[in-house]
Amino acid sequence: MSEHSLCADAAASQASLSVNALTRPLLERLLEHMPQTGIEASRDETGVLIIDAGINAPGSVAAGAAIAEICMGGLGQVRIGAAASNSAREEWPTFVEISSAQPVLACLASQYAGWSLSASKEETGGKKFFALGSGPARSLACKEPLYEELRYRDEARSGCLVLEVDRAPPAVVIAKILRDCRLDPRRSHADSHAHREPRRYDAGGRTGARSGAAQGTCAGLSTGRHRRRHGERAVAAAGVRGHRRDGPHQ
């Protein structure tokens, strides 16, 4: 059986798993530790929660690792370690280890940055905007042909999308995501602690920021898995366990 067929069969057999529902407690945990992880959160006029993990906020390696687990839809684990070398900067990890018992859903249905989002200068009223969305909310919209192959579509009342950007997404892009994910920002809050957020964004910030660098390293697992679907050389081990080592970041 081909790798392509194996991926589709694996995702279809796990269709009862909701990557967005599994992600919610991870996101709430991240919000509880905002001061420690160097992130900031705010709501736009529609009630959408936008998390800044490296645009204006300093971010951190810990935030990047947490966002990486969110990107994998709650179906992956991230471990950060440092080599015993005095040459490495103390604040930078020298390796990131990623593992998942559900690599197809974690990597292809959730983590892979495959949703193209853009807006013209006329639509934004200023600068053009472009980003590739990653994370579990992709499986709510299913705008990529990949989901037809996987035979997977998530159903959830809230979602999380991760963008590596240098500014928050404009209103026109937020409206598009809400529409494509079939999420209603007018839903009332269930209570003061557990919200029925129509949408959650992790604004990952620049790839050079600490959060983005850590999360970007973890994304090698999904890239490797995606390339294996097409018979290309994988850039990271992609299977039940993935592992990638990196030197200190500048």
Show the domains of the chain with their CATH numbers.
3-245 (3.10.340.11)
Report, as an integer, the average pLDDT of 65-81.
91
Residue 41 has pLDDT above 70, yes or no: yes
pLDDT-based confidence at 188, cuts 50/70/90? very low
φ, ψ for residue 96, nearest 5 deg: -125, 125
pLDDT-based confidence at 38, cuts 50/70/90? very high
Report, as an integer, the average pLDDT of 126-154.
95
Please state, in angstroms and as integers, the Cα–Cα distance from residue 130 to each residue in 117, 177, 180, 220, following that order: 6, 13, 17, 21
pLDDT of residue 4: 53
Residue 178 has pLDDT above 90, yes or no: yes
pLDDT tens, position by position, 144-153: 999 999 999 9
Residue 134 has pLDDT above 70, yes or no: yes
Closest by alpha carbon to 100, among 225, 246, 232, 247?
Answer: 225
Model pTM score: 0.74
Helix-helix angle 61-71:19-32, to 10 degrees: 160
